[in-house]
């Protein structure tokens, strides 16, 4: 089961523009601030703007699956502190399994890498309910649950 939201109007908060991006992107002073091909992120604004959406997708998921029956919660590894704050706000803080302190931000690989790490440590087992929770550039937010 999945819950998803998107806010493309906030996409300029995290970007790596290519040459000619002006033809495809909504005009914004934030896009290309560091130059073409260079990463630009407005981290605190990403968190501030994303927080209500991140929490809402988990609440939405909770209407369909028993969140508190999960063994672990795996998130986008962008910041342990921010995701711990989100998880605590959703009353799931005790489930958070973060690989950020070990790996840093490994972007789209965050959730699968964390699952592999938790499985390797014996933290999760086949048959466990797991939760995934991400917020990403572009500005999309998702929460999902499955039986491992």
- Displacement of CA 70 from its chain's centroid (Å): 18
- Higher-confidence residue of 15 and 57: namely 57
Q: Is 103 exposed, middle or buried (0-12, 13-18, 19+ CB in 10 A)?
A: middle
Tokens read off for 97: 């399994």
pLDDT by residue (tens digit) across 75-120? 998 889 999 999 999 999 999 999 998 998 888 899 999 999 999 9
**Looking at the domain assignment, is residue 21 inside a domain?**
no
Count of the separate structural domains present in the chain = 1
pLDDT by residue (tens digit) across 27-84? 899 998 999 999 999 989 999 999 999 999 999 999 999 999 999 999 998 889 999 9
**Looking at the domain assignment, is residue 17 inside a domain?**
no
Tokens read off for 64: 């369909």
Q: Name the pTM for this structure.
A: 0.89
* CATH number for the domain that contains residue 54: 3.40.47.10
Is residue 110 within 8 Å of residue 75, measured between CB atoms?
A: yes
Find the domain containing 87 and state its range: 2-11+42-147
């Amino acid at each position: 089961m999945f819950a998803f939201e998107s806010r493309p109007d906030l996409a300029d908060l995290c970007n790596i523009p290519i040459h000619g991006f002006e033809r495809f992107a909504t005009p914004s002073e934030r896009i290309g601030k560091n130059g073409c091909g260079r990463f630009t992120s407005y981290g605190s604004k990403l968190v501030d703007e994303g927080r209500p959406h991140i929490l809402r997708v988990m609440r939405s998921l909770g209407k369909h699956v028993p969140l508190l029956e999960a063994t672990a919660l795996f998130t986008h590894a962008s910041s342990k502190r921010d995701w711990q704050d989100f998880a605590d706000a959703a009353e799931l803080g005790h489930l958070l399994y973060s690989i950020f302190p070990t790996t840093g931000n490994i972007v789209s690989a965050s959730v699968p890498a964390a699952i592999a790490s938790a499985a390797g440590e014996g933290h999760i087992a086949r048959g466990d309910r797991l939760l995934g929770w991400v917020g990403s550039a572009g500005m999309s937010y998702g929460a999902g649950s499955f039986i491992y």
